[in-house]
Amino acid sequence: MIATGGNERTYRIAVIPGDGIGREVVPEGLRVLEAAARKFGFRLHLDEFDFASCDYYLKHNKMLPEDWKERIGSHDAIFFGAVGWPEKVPDHISLWGSLIQFRREFDQYANLRPVRLMPGIPCPLAGRAPGDIDFFVVRENTEGEYSSIGGSIFPGTHREVVIQETIMTRIGIDRILKFAFELAQKRPRKHLTSATKSNGISITMPYWDTRVEEMAKSFPDVTWDKYHIDILAAHFVLNPDRFNVVVASNLFGDILSDLGPACTGTIGIAPSGNINPERLFPSLFEPVHGSAPDIAGRGIANPVAQIWSGAMMLDHLGETEAGAAIVRAIEQVLPHKQLRTPDMGGTANTVTAGKAIADALT
Ligand code: ATP
Ligand code: MG
């Protein structure tokens, strides 16, 4: 936040639309954020950047300028659309050259994804109504199973052995657990579930479990349990009402944080935060979906995931009332078919849907 002459709170936001439908849904996200700023009496100072996009890559032969950290590192948050255009630039270049750099360099070790069934969205799980499914998946975003340590011995022979190590550190586990317990503590049910697999992965996962037990001692008001990842995934489908905050390693969290939103209907509404809880670096807020080249340019992309990501960003910045008001506006608009985009069985286009949510706020 930067101090201004008057009493108004001002936040500096780095806006990166990226590729494909990112460029269509980001303006709708900004429309709703600006409506929220007017209503709740704060200001947004928006700086838009064209890097972290495939067009930028085609012009400059790189995804980011040399000084990208200086250019966005002192902003209060990053509002990101989507990156990737596989026909022009392979995904391993576009994704690894941009978003993965942000997550690593800005130590955004907590990946936060709400899983909530919204009114008006048909639920793929039979007999579930809004209110039955409302929890968060917290994924460790920087270590664990996704290490590049390993290799192949006797490659190409019948004796070939391929090894890839899982790296878990006490610091890395403890900081994600602390984040998850604190989140659980703030929610009415004050319950946390840990994903494990200590019956099969016999070194790292039992260690993860002991760190959960240890961390729980600092949160006596939070109840907790643990499930092996296989049955945990089954319970997401069979008993989603059991969950409040679910914390998981990088791989398990990756899987659960796609499965969760899938249980609540369309990919077009799922938001996420890549968070540096210590606030040493900006956190990044983006939809779970990608750039959707198949529908880009047609004006029919669902803007809800981007708008909801904006609500998470405001919550992170301390504008909790404004964040909650955006989520309520989304809940008010979604039941109306004529205000929903085609992926949700409606007839609205991106702009109509975005405007309807902005109007519902004021
Ligand atoms: P990623 O870039 O994360 O790998 P992906 O390639 O898995 O993404 P997406 O770009 O998310 O896939 O698209 C998957 C499918 O979902 C596509 O058919 C796309 O049109 C659809 N889709 C994604 N986002 C939206 C949206 N906001 N509105 C409507 N449809 C969407
Ligand atoms: Mg893609």
Atom of ligand 1 nearest to the CA of 288: 3
What is the predicted pLDDT for the residue at 252? 97
Active-site entry in 146, 190, 207, 226: 146
Q: For residue 256, what are the domain limits?
A: 134-263
Reduced to 3 states (helix: H, G, I; strand: E, B; else coil), residue 111 is: strand
User: What is the pTM assigned to this prediction?
Assistant: 0.93
Same domain, 188 and 256: yes
What is the predicted pLDDT for the residue at 265? 85
Same domain, 287 and 359: yes
Question: What's the CATH code of the domain at 295?
Answer: 3.40.718.10
**CB hemisphere CA count around 18 (13 angstroms):** 29
Same domain, 31 and 7: yes
What is the predicted pLDDT for the residue at 231? 97
Atom of ligand 1 nearest to the CA of 293: 10
User: Of 263, 292, 320, which residue is a domain's last?
Assistant: 263
- 258 catalytic, yes or no? yes
CB 173 within 8 A of CB 208: yes
Long-range contacts from 174-180, C-beta under 8 angstroms, 24+ separation: 174/211, 174/215, 175/109, 175/277, 176/109, 176/110, 176/138, 176/140, 176/247, 177/211, 177/212, 177/215, 177/247, 178/215, 178/218, 179/110, 179/138, 179/275, 179/277, 180/110, 180/138, 180/245, 180/247
Q: How many whole angstroms from 101 Cα to the centroid of ligand 1?
A: 22
Same domain, 163 and 211: yes
Q: Which of 257, 280, 295, 262 is nearest to 20 (CA)?
A: 295
pLDDT tens per residue, range 1-14: 655 555 689 999 99
What single DSSP character describes residue 267?
G
What is the predicted pLDDT for the residue at 3? 56
Q: How many whole angstroms from 253 Cα to the centroid of ligand 2?
A: 19
Q: How many whole angstroms from 286 Cα to the centroid of ligand 1?
A: 13
pLDDT tens per residue, range 273-307: 999 999 999 999 999 999 999 999 999 999 999 99
Active-site entry in 254, 315, 343, 355: 254
Tally of domains in the chain: 2
Pocket probe for ligand 1: among 289, 300, 302, the residue whose CB has the most ligand atoms within 8 Å is 289
- 197 catalytic, yes or no? yes
CB 334 within 8 A of CB 118: yes
What is the predicted pLDDT for the residue at 8? 81
Same domain, 26 and 96: yes
Same domain, 118 and 213: no
Identify the segments of the chain with pLDDT beneath 50: none
User: Of 263, 279, 307, which residue is a domain's last?
Assistant: 263
Nearest ligand atom owner, CA of 86: 2
What is the predicted pLDDT for the residue at 122? 86
- 47 catalytic, yes or no? no
Same domain, 112 and 149: no
What is the ipTM, given to two decimal places?
A: 0.94
Atom of ligand 1 nearest to the CA of 289: 11
